[in-house]
Amino acid sequence: MKTSQPITGVRARPKTAAPSGGKALISDQRFGILAVTLVVSASLYNAMLAIISAHVKGLTSAAPIAMEGLLLGGAMGLALLKRRPDGEDAPAIALLYLFALLAVFTSLASDAVFPDAFRNVAIIASFFLLGRRCSFPQVHLAFAVLTIITLTVLIFEIAFPTAYVSVFQPGNYYAATRGMEVSEFNETGLFNNAAGFESRFSFGVFSGARTSSVFLEQVSNANFAGILCVFLVATWGRLSVAIRTTMVATILLILLSNNTRTSSALAVVTMMGYFIFPHLSRWFTLLIAPVLVLLAFLAVGDNVTHTDDLIGRLGITTEALRKLDIPTIFGANAMKARHLMDTGFGYVTASSSIFGLIAIWLFFSLGQRATDTASKRCAWATAVYLFANMMIGGTAIFSMKVAAPLWMLVGYMAATAPKPQASRPNGPAPRGSIAA
């Protein structure tokens, strides 16, 4: 039987019933519309604010802070309206409570208010819980809308770079709202690091700056390609040829125009993982982080160069981990995290203590049930994406622009993966609707 509002391009598998947590206070149709709107807005709000700042009224840091707070509150509130917390929500809620306590502890121990780690986990928990209450058509629609918008703006940026800068004025926006003053060497009007430099790696396909698309800075654009890869390997068999083609084309155009080495490597690993991940145990995801750190120490050794290549980027992480002192490890020097933005493991440790790092490691590794082929692919691809990025970056994976859709997907996969030893229903699957 078909529902009344099919979404073109979705091949739905039989839906595993989410745990019952009481009567919903919002209709399925309204929930679906609001959930998709929240996730899309979380990815696009900086672009919208940049246009306002450039052409309507100059903004300060208060604007993105307020917008982020509204989106976080909206995601958590909508999730609770849909269904009150149940036992399977416990890991995400426990993570949120733990980081609230750690935020208080580290602020007191460091004699400075430092809420960054709690904010990062609030994004993860809020959109994870929202995703646990979503249907596949809702998750699919959010990713489809973001892909089309990202691709459209990306083509506009490549074809008309001057017009792109005129519309968004990324450099001025980040200077006004983040305190990142435009570099004297940056004459492009772009975000400073997007301008690049002559000796930086390039595929040689496009000349000019690294592309940023609707995200306004190059790292989130590259990471969007990464989460699109996660979405594709987790849902490939449920998508139409048109949707697959559009998403693959978007990924390729981002990689080639952004000249991103990390996301390019992850795209290859994820593609290979499509065939490998289903045969691996979810418990082995616990090994990804320690193995990556060990390999980094072996590759770098004592020769830390800080050059703009893989060894140089890994060297920043190994050097930072070597220099972590006891007060920093146990959360008494949280402000040191400000100087560890290029190393995820060091940043998380300094901002939330070793206990926060352990909690993040466990949640990133085991946050999904991963009991069938699709959920194993998603769990492994997510863990590889997160931990690989933590080796060469500190805060990018926590940015709401890419974290919101990723954790919506992870939450959905966690809620719908079959329980251990449960058999999946046979027979053809019905098409879903946004209200499914």
Amino acid at 37: T
Q: How far apart are CA 338 and CA 46, in angstroms?
A: 22
Q: Tens-of-pLDDT digits for all 436 residues of the chain?
A: 444 444 445 554 544 444 445 566 889 999 999 999 999 999 999 999 999 999 999 999 999 999 999 999 999 999 999 999 999 999 999 999 999 999 999 999 999 988 999 999 999 999 999 999 999 999 999 999 999 999 999 999 999 999 999 999 999 999 999 887 876 666 787 887 776 655 566 677 777 789 999 999 999 999 999 999 999 999 999 999 999 999 999 999 999 999 888 999 999 999 999 999 999 999 999 999 999 999 999 998 887 777 777 888 889 999 999 999 999 999 999 999 988 888 899 999 999 999 999 999 999 999 988 999 999 999 999 999 999 999 988 788 999 999 999 999 999 999 999 987 644 555 444 444 444 4
Q: Assess contact for 334 and 110: CB atoms under 8 A.
A: yes
Q: How far apart are CA 229 and CA 226, in angstroms?
A: 5
Q: How far apart are CA 420 and CA 372, in angstroms?
A: 9
**Which residues, 6 or more positions from 253, have their beta carbon under 8 angstroms from its beta carbon?**
151, 154, 155, 158
Q: How far apart are CA 114 and CA 111, in angstroms?
A: 9
Q: How far apart are CA 38 and CA 70, in angstroms?
A: 10
In this structure, what token pair is assigned to residue 301? 């050794």
Give 324: exposed, middle or buried? Use CB within 10 Å, 0-12, 13-18, 19+.
Answer: middle
Q: How far apart are CA 348 and CA 353, in angstroms?
A: 7
The maximal CA–CA distance of the chain, rounded, in angstroms, is: 64
Q: Assess contact for 141 and 34: CB atoms under 8 A.
A: no
